[in-house]
Structure 1
Amino acid sequence: MTARSIRGLAAATLAAALTASAAACSNPGGGTAGGKGADGTAVVVGIAYEPESLSPLLGYGKDGNSKIFDGLLALDAEMRLKPALAAALPEVSDDGLTYTYKLRKGVKFSDGKPFSAKDVVFTYRTILDEKTNNASKTELDAVEDVKATGDDTVVFTLKYPYAPFAERTVLPIAPEHVAARQDVNTGDFTTKPIGTGPYVLAGWSKGEKISFKANPDYWGGAPKVEKFTMAIVKDDDVRATRLRSGELDGAILPPNLAKTFKGERGKKTYAATTYDYRTVTLPTNNKAAGDTAVRQALDVAVDRDTMVDQILEGAGKAAYGPVPTDSEWFAKGTERVHDLAKAKKILDDAGWKPGEDGIREKDGVRAAFPLWYVSGDKLRQDHALAYASDAKKAGIDVKTQAGTWEVIEPRMKTDAVLAGGGAPADPDFDQYLLLKSSLAGDGFNNMAWYDNKAVDKALEEGRKSGDKRVRKAAYDTVQRELVKNPGYTFLTHIDHLYVVSDRWDGLSTQIEPHDHGLASGPWWNVEDWTPKK
């Protein structure tokens, strides 16, 4: 799980999580069953995770679709950039170092104050401030300066021609007149935000729900869905039960649960192609998991195709790195074939010999390590169990354990984690945070403490070159280095499945990142939904 991943607050144990969510969300919409309300203009959806903060200055909504906020640009259904707070796409200088945005006129924040260029400058400068606890600020490393030219023009000057910079300007804009008056990391704005978006925050009960109400003065027009609630239901089975009972209008579900709704009247299933992967971190600081031969052996011992078939039930594809195999950025030839005999030979040649119990040892070190996964997440649990089973056949003892992120995070330096990540649009967005050695131990960045100088160099080349051929070569290098020294065992790319009440028009899905349905899913454009007649 990288920094772009959204992690939630969980109960201390799985049993507690089930009990708490059952009690807290029995009527998450505050209206009739399903959150429909008396006038039928309310929607309640179930998601698995919640953000730690609602402030874009700390990373909330940085990939767009935050509902409370708008960015300068936004992404449409085909993942093409379109104007949002900007009146048009940016003007880019010939050298790729200057981006000029003309702003939309007449936009107001939800408190009635006007939006202007100074809010854009404040947002970007605050994110880049070293005092701001934004784990993703390196995504804006290219920014040399941002300044306002009058009230309606913003000019970004870059240090180098960062090719995907425009995609980074979907991040939400915060109001200077509110956020600048308080501590950026702990102030009220982190839980009581004000933005220009189609919705305003109605309430946030942590661990239970986030409630929104339509912004009647939204510059894009008031949404027809007047009340929108995201119910935080961490356990997959409980989420499915609530959907079936009518307490939820929609939910993200794993394949085995989504299929139980097939043919059910009044419900429709949506499948979203994603960049979302599941991977096992192999911490450099663990004597077994950090050994190159163990990593290489695990990389070919794992049966990815069986995971896709049996765990995902075909709703996904095998993963050999952070880049999906159908992406233009995928390095052909880096696919790893399941080969148990090869895995055993790699270990034999490296001196890892089977002990009396079949588990390998070398220089007094046992080929064993713990693998943590998040309680209540059935897909992670199933991936972890399958991984451990495959590893055991090669003589590596992987002990699976469930826990909350509060339990898992302090152990990430030495213990493996069934993690997730992924970001569409550009390979820099996910790979830099995932693999850059300087980010090891920085929260959920580089969770494996991966350290590869060739990868570091390639990541910098890919980030700083404006030539697509150079960038393609750089990211090819990254993927080929991950074959030589994996650092992570990538398992699958997962297609997200959603089951939603079929009473609205306008639902669709985008190509999605790893965010568990918070800002994507069929409700990525809930502000555009209209009731079926």
Structure 2
Amino acid sequence: MTGRTARGLAATTLAAALIASAAACSKPAEGGASAGGDPASSVVVGIATEPESLSPLLGYGKDGNSKIFDGLLAHDAGMKLKPALAAALPEVSPDGLTYTYKLRPGVTFSDGRPFTAADVVFTYRTILDPKTNNASRTELDALAGVEARGTDTVVFTLKYPYAPFAERTVLPIAPQHIAGRQDVNSGEFTTKPVGTGPYLLTGWSKGEKLAFKANPRYWGGEPAVKKFTMAVIKDDDVRATRLRSGELDAAVLPPNLAEGFAEDKGRLGAPPSGSWGIYAATSFDYRNVTLPTHNPVTGDLAVRQALDIAVDRKAMVDSLLEGSGKPAYGPVPTDSPWFTAGTERTHDPVKARKILDDAGWKPGEDGIRVKDGVRAAFPLWYTSGDKIRQDHALAFASDAKKAGIEVRTQAGTWEVIEPRMKTDAVLAGGGSPADPDFDQYLLLHSSLAGDGFNNMARYADPAVDRALDQGRRSGDPAVRKAAYDTVQRELVRNPGYVFLTHIDHLYVVNDRWDGPSTQVEPHDHGLGTGPWWNVETWKPEK
């Protein structure tokens, strides 16, 4: 759950000052057109967020595409699994409890040491160790054990037939000979990693950039893009400005800013090739509002039900996203085969007001409802810089006010927001396309209530817990579909979050490269996603 950013209207002057300051003070990223880099072999991309750690043992790159590392498997352009460090897809036992991987021969880490089965065993066992600070450990709940058979074979044994287990083996593999000699949570490996991937980290200036160079030992062949830099620019407007100035070759942008680049062909300030490539990626990435059960207002079921139908999702897609997305009624997009038909919520402010009336929330003199001396008002936090989140927060507050609920939008850093999440609402995001278990369990299971950014609303519903457990533990597709149908129907009855939109990610790329493309993307759209998901295969356009 990263990159939740927005600006309040009251901060307009401050935002303008920050933009000017960033443009004046930030060093040009390595390799950009204005930075003197070789345009034939250097790429600089603008991203909104950066990880806290670069160690896969702590969760970095767990969904693949980490650039520094490889998993046993990887995703192709169509999100189908393909071999990476494994020589082939796994052999699965008839009972679904054993997965056997043969490893690709001749692979070395970037320091020249050989990659073996011992590194795979080390990686998974370390992640499963309770002493390791990996917030995603529960994603490997099905794993009973992992062992090496010689140097080239790894066998995973499961507790139960976990249907999407192979998807979990895109997780990057760490070198035992380096990471195993350090403190897993604080050692140098967390910021100076060594992997088998197509790139080597050459520098990380926190809050500014991550710089990479091509790995000459890469098993897939040394990339044509020799320098690859990710410039961390949290503010959308600053990112767009630096892209247009030539400091960046590509960037993720919200729809209103990306649209401007689509009209730039032939204009002053357009890239040397005369045009920009605009890439749209459909995604499972949703925006939602947490409704903390420990807040006296949002903890009331009637308030949650009313807010769930008071919001105008279609208007948000049309006006905030300019059509680049779709209404969200839960974590599953409406065009997914996992979506449960009939769980769409119609925008109905009249019914929302009736729900509140019937529950005893009566309008006060100022129009804001009151029940038992409690005013129907609560804060909604978001972080600064992301226009999409700003717009969603303000639109949600506007719709809520029409029902008689006051939502006070407030901006802050995650250091400010996180301690308040137990009682204060947050404009959040999430979503994973690989399997419904990947996102829904972390988001909704009561056992993870208050566990960092897992289950931020501290939602607890026994029927949802049972369905999530069944969906996770069954290998029968029909049983799993029924389980996730139950989850989606329960979210209509007992919303713990108001889901607003699923967002199509938009990227602008200097149109001088042959190779950029997009995949169906998760919530995270920074280091591992975007048109640079396959940057190691790019070639200069001839």
**1-structure distance, mates of 2:35, 2:219:** 26
What amino acid is the match of 1:366? R
Matches within 5 A, 1:485-500: 485-500=494-509
Whether 2:322 is the aligned partner of 1:321: answer no
**1-structure distance, mates of 2:15, 2:240:** 16
Runs of 4+ more than 2 Å apart = 5-8, 12-26, 31-36, 263-266
Give the counterpart of 1:344 among 353, 359, 366. 353
Residue 41 of structure 1: aligned partner: 41
What amino acid is the match of 1:390? D
Whether 2:537 is the aligned partner of 1:528: answer yes
Residue 312 of structure 2: aligned partner: 303
What amino acid is the match of 2:177? H
3-state SS of 1:447 partner: coil
Q: CA deviation at 1:237?
A: 0.4
Change over 3 Å in CA distance of 1:507–1:159 after alignment to 2: same
3-state SS of 1:130 partner: coil
Residue 191 of structure 1: aligned partner: 191
Residue 96 of structure 2: aligned partner: 96
Residues 515, 539 of structure 2: 8 Å contact kept: yes
* 1:495-519 per-position Cα deviation (integer Å, ceiling 9, x unaligned): 0000000011011000000113321
Q: CA deviation at 1:14?
A: 5.4
Residues 96, 161 of structure 2: 8 Å contact kept: yes
**2-structure distance, mates of 1:322, 1:128:** 26
Change over 3 Å in CA distance of 1:284–1:34 after alignment to 2: farther
**2-structure distance, mates of 1:22, 1:274:** 31
Give the counterpart of 1:427 among 423, 427, 436. 436
Change over 3 Å in CA distance of 1:6–1:98 after alignment to 2: farther
Residue 364 of structure 1: aligned partner: 373
Q: CA deviation at 1:37?
A: 1.2
What amino acid is the match of 2:27? S
**2-structure distance, mates of 1:173, 1:477:** 36
Change over 3 Å in CA distance of 1:428–1:357 after alignment to 2: same
* 1:87-112 per-position Cα deviation (integer Å, ceiling 9, x unaligned): 00000000000000000000000000
Residue 109 of structure 2: aligned partner: 109
What amino acid is the match of 1:85? L
3-state SS of 2:460 partner: coil
Give the counterpart of 1:511 among 510, 520, 527. 520
Residue 26 of structure 1: aligned partner: 27
Q: CA deviation at 1:407?
A: 1.1
Q: CA deviation at 1:40?
A: 2.4
Give the counterpart of 1:465 among 454, 471, 474. 474
Give the counterpart of 1:478 among 484, 487, 491. 487
Matches within 5 A, 1:112-511: 112-264=112-264, 265-511=274-520
- Which runs of no fewer than 5 residues in structure 2 stay unpaired? 265-273
Change over 3 Å in CA distance of 1:54–1:320 after alignment to 2: same
Change over 3 Å in CA distance of 1:468–1:17 after alignment to 2: farther
Whether 2:71 is the aligned partner of 1:62: answer no
Residue 267 of structure 2: aligned partner: none
**1-structure distance, mates of 2:228, 2:35:** 9
Pick which of 323-332 and 515-524 moved more: 515-524
Q: CA deviation at 1:36?
A: 6.3
3-state SS of 2:53 partner: coil
Q: CA deviation at 1:22?
A: 3.2
3-state SS of 2:108 partner: coil
* 1:446-466 per-position Cα deviation (integer Å, ceiling 9, x unaligned): 000101111111100000000
Change over 3 Å in CA distance of 1:155–1:7 after alignment to 2: farther
Residues 143, 157 of structure 1: 8 Å contact kept: yes
- The alignment's TM-score, normalised by the length of structure 2, stands at 0.95
**2-structure distance, mates of 1:477, 1:14:** 44
**1-structure distance, mates of 2:4, 2:18:** 15
What amino acid is the match of 2:488? Q
Residues 99, 156 of structure 1: 8 Å contact kept: yes
What amino acid is the match of 2:205? S
Q: CA deviation at 1:263?
A: 3.2
**1-structure distance, mates of 2:3, 2:252:** 15
Whether 2:88 is the aligned partner of 1:79: answer no
**2-structure distance, mates of 1:223, 1:452:** 49
**2-structure distance, mates of 1:476, 1:321:** 11
The aligned length equals: 527
What amino acid is the match of 1:468? P
**2-structure distance, mates of 1:32, 1:373:** 31
What amino acid is the match of 1:48? A
Q: CA deviation at 1:23?
A: 5.0
Q: How high is the sequence identity, in percent, across the aligned residues?
A: 77
Q: CA deviation at 1:34?
A: 4.8
* 1:100-154 per-position Cα deviation (integer Å, ceiling 9, x unaligned): 0000000000000000000000000000000000000100000000000000000
Residues 32, 248 of structure 2: 8 Å contact kept: no
Residues 463, 490 of structure 2: 8 Å contact kept: yes
**1-structure distance, mates of 2:230, 2:504:** 21
What amino acid is the match of 2:313? R
3-state SS of 2:200 partner: strand
**1-structure distance, mates of 2:329, 2:229:** 36
- The alignment's TM-score, normalised by the length of structure 1, stands at 0.97
Q: CA deviation at 1:374?
A: 1.2
Q: CA deviation at 1:362?
A: 0.6
**2-structure distance, mates of 1:6, 1:156:** 34
Residues 330, 499 of structure 2: 8 Å contact kept: yes
What amino acid is the match of 2:151? D
Residues 33, 249 of structure 2: 8 Å contact kept: no
* 1:408-452 per-position Cα deviation (integer Å, ceiling 9, x unaligned): 111111000000000011000000000011111111000001011
**2-structure distance, mates of 1:47, 1:98:** 39
